[in-house]
Amino acid sequence: MYLGYVVDPELLKKDPHFRMGCVFCHKGNAKVMNREEAHKGLVERPSDNLRSCMACHKQITDNYAKSLHYTTAGLRTGVMPRFSKEELATFDEKVFQKSCRSCHAACGDCHVKGAPVGGISIGLIDKHKFVRKDEGKTCKFCHGGRVYPEYTGEYGGAPDVHYQKGMLCMDCHKKAEFHGDGNAYLTKGEVKQRPACKNCHKPGDEAKLTAQIAHREHEGKVSCYGCHSGAAYRNCYNCHGGHAEAKPGMILGRSPRDKKLLTTLRLIPTVRDTFAPAGIKMENYDALPNYWDTPAHNIRKRTDRTRNCDVCHVDRKNFLTREMLIKEGSKANEELLYVPKPINR
């Protein structure tokens, strides 16, 4: 049994995961002293095969096998309307299985060792301890480009007010969201257990009359993020061969999923030739816009828009305009433009 620097020997005594020895999960041969022999057939990431965990955690692994963190189906669903039937088949074979699916999270990626992202691994989360959660390492490592640094304020602007108050990812996002509920959803929009601002912040409970009026007036017209996103967030431009350029920005416009709703939009990096290396032209490229509604994780109680109606209604600050649209973008982008009207006082 390996008792080296990586695994804390004290853990081996305490945690039931180690009762069967390393070989139970990692295979290899614990009976020999020769390094080469001992490592023969070694499985580096045992939980890539969910059966490794299934023996003891059947219900969770059954659910997890269908969850979006494991299937990564959301990535496919998000782009497939751009493809013809033939292109989708090519995408599934050459891109989805080889690239998108490699991003799936196995049990161990959240509970033992951070997932390798772009070939870089953070190593063990806590000396091979099976941790219940450690958002600052596990969530951050995969969602560290956009969500996490926006949430903590490290991308610029103040931290999200929920982080300011000491809240972490799993204070809003519950376990069922990660492990799944046994249904194989195609997109996160279908997941019922997702958090919503109104779960905690009931309309009408506001302390100030001005806030009550503002919320009532914008109900169903503007998303919470539309007013309460506090700073510029990361937008990715021009994904060619896996290389995109990121720039900070706040973009307001109609939600592609609900054109009656104004919200924060985030530029996604897919451009017309993103999948050209796989021989996919994207025949229906214009079926989807380049800007998607985004739940920006940089919520503040006060923003320039909550302080002053004129910021939107007169200055139209941050609203997507025709001039701002990316060059050679989707024709569907036009449908997201909105010009706020002055208020009749």
Write out the residues near other proteins by the rule CB under 8 A: 134-136, 152-154, 156-159, 163-168, 231, 301-302
DSSP string, 222-262: B-HHHHHB-S-EEEEEEEETTEEEEEEE-EEEEETTEEEEE
Contact by Cβ (8 Å): 71, 104: yes
CB nearer other proteins, residue 238 or residue 306:
306
State the Cα–Cα distance between residues 252 and 316, nearest whole angstrom. 9
Bridge partners of 249?
A: 233
Is the Cα dihedral 332, 242, 107, 146 positive or negative?
negative
CB of 20 to other proteins, least distance (A): 29
Minimum distance between the CB of residue 69 and other proteins, rounded to whole angstroms? 20
Nearer CB in complex with other proteins: 231/244: 231
Closest separation in Å from C-beta 118 to other proteins: 22
Q: Which is nearer to other proteins, 257 or 301 (CB)?
A: 301
- 207 within 8 A of 90, measured Cβ to Cβ: no
Taking the least distance from each CB to other proteins, the nearer of 168 and 326 is 168
Based on CB atoms, which residue is closest to other proteins, 40 or 302? 302
CB of 168 to other proteins, least distance (A): 6
101-129 burial, b if ≥16 CB within 10 A, otherwise e? beebbbbbbbbbbbbeeeeeeeebbeebb
Residues 266/235, Cβ–Cβ less than 8 Å: yes
User: Nearest distance from residue 163's CB to other proteins, in Å?
Assistant: 6
